[in-house]
Homo-oligomer: A and B are copies of this chain.
Amino acid sequence: MSMLTLKYYLEVPASSLDNNKGDIDRISAGLKDVTGTRSIEWPLSTIETASKVVRSSGGKITVTVWPDGDRLNVITTEAGDTTGLNFGVAIDIGTTVVAVELVDLTSGKTIAAEGDVSGQVRYGDDLLTRLHFAGQGGVEELRSALIDTINGLIARVCTDSGVTSTRISAVSAAGNTSMTHTFLGIDPSPIRFEPYTPVINHVPRLSAKELGLDVLPNATVYVFPSVGGYFGGDLISGAVASGISQAEEISLLLDIGTNVEVILGNKDWLLALAGSAGPALEGGVAECARRAAPGAIERVAIDRATLEPSYKSIGESPAYGLCGSGLIDVIAQLYLSGLIDSTGRFILEKKTDRWRTINGRTAYLIAKGDEKNGIPPTYITEKDIQNLLRTKAAMVAALTILLNSVGLQLDGIRRIYTAGSFGINLSVDSATAIGLYPRLPAERFTQLGNGSLLGARKTLLDSSMTAEAERIADKITYLELNVHPEFMEIFRSASYI
């Protein structure tokens, strides 16, 4: 297992009349001796620094490289032995949130992590608005906004950890297909139109300076490949994180965010479905949705007689917001109390003082909050319920189509990995109860969390995982969910509680 970038300490002999080979050529000879690599590639911008360093340090230098097959590509040269100081950055380029981890490539440990709302959000909350903006010549603005967000996060992880950004030699980034395109400064707008063809799936290895990232200028940047316009590098990265493409047993990877994405398979085959769960899911899971953090409501009960709710929040903090299991509980309790019908619509004839109008929409109020102390109310709208039902229906449809395609029974799935912004918040029990996750024993489930970020981190620590990601993208059989003939039929029949 070899890191994405490596550092070698060399003692390069000084030049003499007997050996007055060029500075760079003497360093290359030393690297070849140590590594057995035949070819050393020097970007033009690395040459003069290396020459000055080798002359001023008495030949005691550390060279940072990224290996590529039978070549070593030089990133930078430093005086003395700095082999213990090598860092990488993993990036999850989300549509809404960008997450960055700083990884110590010597210890393998994550030493800082930060996240922030993407600067692209000001050009549109949802992907389609941004794709339209990109098609109107806005790519450079989108690119620049994203890079600014990433550079801000890199600066923060550097401050958090005390690492200088010029020790960061490796970057690994995963995002959906549109995000990947704008990260590269490539117009993703053709993805909007059938057959949803991206400009590029397999991205070449790039240098940080080409992309404008504030790390070592020649740091290597790996970008995860996409499979289709709506099946991106974030899911490939999740697949790498889960290891399903290297396992004997058949596993399922579920990624639920603004899109529903599912991969089924093992080391021999991989079948995938992806597609938007409908416009309803764009814009987030639910208005009052929160991560499962202290204060988030995780359990809700509604009294059948009084129609009054009671709840339990995480920890002792003042309660507001619904984490995933809280959201699912509310919907189940509303149905059982006769406050919604099986299509998720409110039955307003049922009298309760919990009906409110919030932001112009009818809502059922769960917790009043505490305006004085800045604690907002927690409530649920029909739209929130529809979102969850549509997501559930898309999941059921996707899984049914996949299982039918390969003639597999549900129980043939031995492991289930869950990822994505929905998956993070959700308890397996709640999600299984409402039918969002397949009804399989809880012990078969593994929550990856942010699978995209996790896979990116994995490539930093094991460069063979980049080849694995490319292999997954090549071998996977991908069905566009929205154009699949069975989809709408199954979707409709599953859009009920």
Interface residues of A (CB under 8 A from B): 15-17, 20-25, 28, 41-44, 47-48, 51, 55, 184-187, 190, 194-202, 204, 206, 210, 226, 228-229, 480, 483
Contacts and interface: CB of A to CB of B under 8 A. Distances in A.
Given A22-B202, A23-B198, 20 more contacts: A15-B195, A17-B194, A17-B480, A20-B195, A20-B198, A20-B480, A22-B198, A24-B201, A25-B200, A25-B202, A41-B204, A42-B204, A43-B204, A44-B184, A44-B204, A44-B210, A47-B186, A47-B199, A48-B187, A51-B190
A43 B479 CA distance: 30
Nearest to A480: B17
Given A17-B194, A190-B55, A200 B44 contact: no
B17 A483 contact: yes
A25 B23 CA distance: 39
Contacts of A42: 200, 204
B195 A44 contact: no
A206 B46 CA distance: 13
Contacts of A196: 20
Nearest to A229: B20
B195 A24 contact: no
If over half of A's interface residues share one DSSP class (helix, strand or loop), that class is named, otherwise mixed; here it is loop
A21 B226 CA distance: 9
Nearest to A198: B22
Q: Pick from A28, A195, A206 the residue with the most CB of B within 10 Å.
A: A195
Contact of A22 (B23, B48, B210, B226): B226
B28 A199 contact: no
25 contacts: A16-B195, A17-B194, A17-B195, A17-B480, A17-B483, A20-B195, A20-B197, A20-B228, A22-B199, A22-B200, A22-B201, A22-B202, A23-B197, A24-B199, A24-B200, A24-B201, A24-B202, A25-B201, A25-B202, A28-B202, A42-B204, A44-B206, A47-B186, A47-B199, A48-B186
